[in-house]
Structure 1
Amino acid sequence: MTVMDSSKAVENIYLLVIVTLISVLQNAFFAHKVERECKSQSHTSAFERVSCANRNCMDAYPTFLALMWCAGLCLNQAPAAFAGIIYLLVRQKYFIGYLGQTSQSTPGYLFGKRIMSFLFLMCIVGIFNYLMGRYYGSDYKEYVETITNAASALLLIP
């Protein structure tokens, strides 16, 4: 692989890489909160809440990463990375909400499911478009990317 080839490859994924690295920092923040609560004098309900919130976030994390990367690679990295950033903000809201009362985390949880559904749909559309181009010679990628870019802005609506 030449320098030009690797430069082109990075150009196609750098937004996804940035969101992934931000998510790693967020995971470190969550782990720090759990560790700090664990070191407190007694295992209180605060420890149970922070531990449960962290566990719930970690359970969904591999699915989020897979969906974001597949959507970015199969269709378009910009809306996938945008959805990824929104997901991380929502996950932060969920985590912080869980530290209060668990009912405060519900909006973040539901919004996160909507973002994951959007990323899943992006994956399906990207795969379908690839198959259409490969077997039928019909490539709708430009149209699909335009629609996806516009639709990603709709993720901001609560």
Structure 2
Amino acid sequence: MDSVVVEHIYLLVIVTIISVLQNAFFAQKVEREGKASNTHPTAFERVSCANRNCMDAYPTFLAVMWCAGLCLNQAPAAFAGILYLMVRQKYFIGYMGQTCQSTPGFLFGKRVIFFLILMCVVGIFNYLLARFYGDNYKEYVETITSAASALLLIP
């Protein structure tokens, strides 16, 4: 693979690999609870439901993270991706307790996904401006998104 290409996507690749490892962890938790389901059937149902919910949102997360990273800037997209993985872990662990404990993780995850979608839209809009009008605001937009990604940490 060309080193220039790798330079522009390595953070996204790292976040993707971490997310795959997290999915393996979730699957192992479901398997472990499935073997012990004779004693705690509700625990298996909760873990299984949390895993399904995480897997339902996973393709959307990957698509918007990669789109934001490729269309705009990989650093804020990867940072938001790491935040999303931490939030997803919090959601999964919270769901294993009481379902109300998973709500903060769910809401924060929605905010991270919205930020990534916004990055995608801005990156595509900037590309269209550069392509059809010759105005390229990529440096300004990258600076703004890098600063705005830190705002994701505010609860």
Same fold flag (TM > 0.5): yes
Per-residue Cα deviation, 1:12-57 (whole angstroms, up to 9, x for no partner): 0000000000000000000000000001151510000000000000
Q: 1:10 aligns with which of 1, 6, 9?
A: 6
Alignment partner of 1:64 is 2:51: no
Q: Within 5 Å, which residues of 2 pair with 1:113-124? A: 113-124=110-121
Q: Which runs of 5+ in 2 are unaligned?
A: none
Residue in structure 2 matched with residue 24 of structure 1 by the alignment = 20
CA distance in 2, matches of 1:53, 1:40: 17
SS state at 1:139 partner: coil
TM-score normalised to the size of structure 2? 0.98
Residue in structure 1 matched with residue 90 of structure 2 by the alignment = 93
Structure 1 runs, 4 residues or longer, greater than 3 Å off:
none
Residue in structure 1 matched with residue 104 of structure 2 by the alignment = 107
Residue in structure 1 matched with residue 34 of structure 2 by the alignment = 38
CA distance in 2, matches of 1:82, 1:62: 18
CA distance in 1, matches of 2:46, 2:99: 8
TM-score normalised to the size of structure 1? 0.96
Q: 1:140 aligns with which of 134, 137, 142?
A: 137
Tell whether the 8 Å contact from 2:37 to 2:44 is kept in structure 1 after alignment: no
CA distance in 2, matches of 1:149, 1:50: 35
Q: Which runs of 5+ in 1 are unaligned?
A: none
What amino acid is the match of 2:118?
L
State the shift of 1:91 in Å: 0.2
Tell whether the 8 Å contact from 2:95 to 2:102 is kept in structure 1 after alignment: yes
% identical aligned pairs: 81
State the shift of 1:95 in Å: 0.1
Distance 1:41 1:123, change over 3 A: closer
What amino acid is the match of 1:151?
A
- Between the two proteins, the alignment pairs up a number of residues equal to 154
